[in-house]
Amino acid sequence: MKAEYEKILSRYIPEPSVGLICEWIIQRGIHLTITKERSTKLGDFRPSEKTRGHKISVNHNLNPYAFLLTLVHEIAHLETWNTYKNKVKPHGREWKTAFIGLMQPFLHELIFPAEVLHEIRKYLNNPAASSCSDHNLSIALRRFDTEPALFLEELPEGAVFKIGSGRVFKKGEKRRKHFHCLEMNSARAYLISPAAEVTLIT
């Protein structure tokens, strides 16, 4: 069974992490499903009514570093559920403690590139509900996608760009954490995250 899991997981996560992740899956009786891309989430945890057999799913299209981080995130939900059931907040102190602890064996450059590892260490000071909510970590991870995205923060001020919905904006100055951008059709101003994926027009 372990050899079969290792063969499958080696396609999705960094090789040095495969052995330990397989042990966790077997020990915890996890039903892991690798799903098609979901726009609303990277992974998911569904508790079983039985002691074992909890379900975890992770999107198939994540790069190896994002996949591993997401999978450990969901295993931390499983650990929290086993201890507290639904008596605590999904991403409260108990989950944060479990997630930080589970990540420790993977925090070295044999598994994560230096720039990703640097952002993960900062993120673990106070992990949030999703790695996507930390724009520096999100950008560091997505640079390793098969087709790396272009991010708003990489564009010069005054550049005209399009976002996923098709709306077109002109990039303005940074206001604290977000960029002040002008929508071309309506002339309305919006604050847009530096980590927004964009397509450069001019």
Look at residue 131 in the predicted model and tell me its pLDDT.
75
Q: pLDDT-based confidence at 63, cuts 50/70/90?
A: very high
Model pTM score: 0.81
Q: How far is CA 91 from the centre of its chain?
A: 14
Last residue of a domain, one of 93, 118, 142: 142
Do both 7 and 41 map to the same domain?
A: yes
Do both 70 and 112 map to the same domain?
A: yes
Q: Indicate if the pLDDT at residue 130 is higher than 80.
A: no
Which residues touch 193 (CB under 8 Å, ≥6 apart)? Answer: 135, 152, 177, 178, 179
Look at residue 50 in the predicted model and tell me its pLDDT.
67
Do both 164 and 102 map to the same domain?
A: no
User: Which residues span the domain enclosing 159?
Assistant: 150-200
Find the mean pLDDT for residues 149-173.
93
Find the mean pLDDT for residues 176-183.
93
Do both 129 and 163 map to the same domain?
A: no
Do both 87 and 11 map to the same domain?
A: yes
Q: Strand pairing partners for 34? A: 58
Look at residue 44 in the predicted model and tell me its pLDDT.
95
Do both 87 and 186 map to the same domain?
A: no
Q: pLDDT-based confidence at 51, cuts 50/70/90?
A: low
CATH code of the domain in which 174 resides: 2.30.30
Domain count, the chain: 2
Task: Please state, rounded to an integer, the average pLDDT across all residues of the chain.
Answer: 92
Do both 74 and 35 map to the same domain?
A: yes
Do both 42 and 82 map to the same domain?
A: yes
Do both 92 and 27 map to the same domain?
A: yes
Do both 137 and 178 map to the same domain?
A: no
> Position of tokens 């002339």?
187
Q: Indicate if the pLDDT at residue 195 is higher than 90.
A: no
Lowest mean pLDDT among 15-19, 63-67, 174-178, 186-190: 174-178
Last residue of a domain, one of 142, 169, 190: 142
Do both 38 and 76 map to the same domain?
A: yes
Do both 130 and 182 map to the same domain?
A: no
Q: Indicate if the pLDDT at residue 133 is higher than 80.
A: no
Last residue of a domain, one of 110, 142, 174: 142
Long-range contacts of 27-34 (CB under 8 A, 24+ apart): 28/52, 28/54, 28/75, 28/78, 29/53, 29/54, 30/54, 30/55, 30/56, 30/75, 30/78, 31/55, 31/56, 32/56, 32/57, 32/58, 32/71, 33/57, 33/58, 34/8, 34/58, 34/59, 34/60
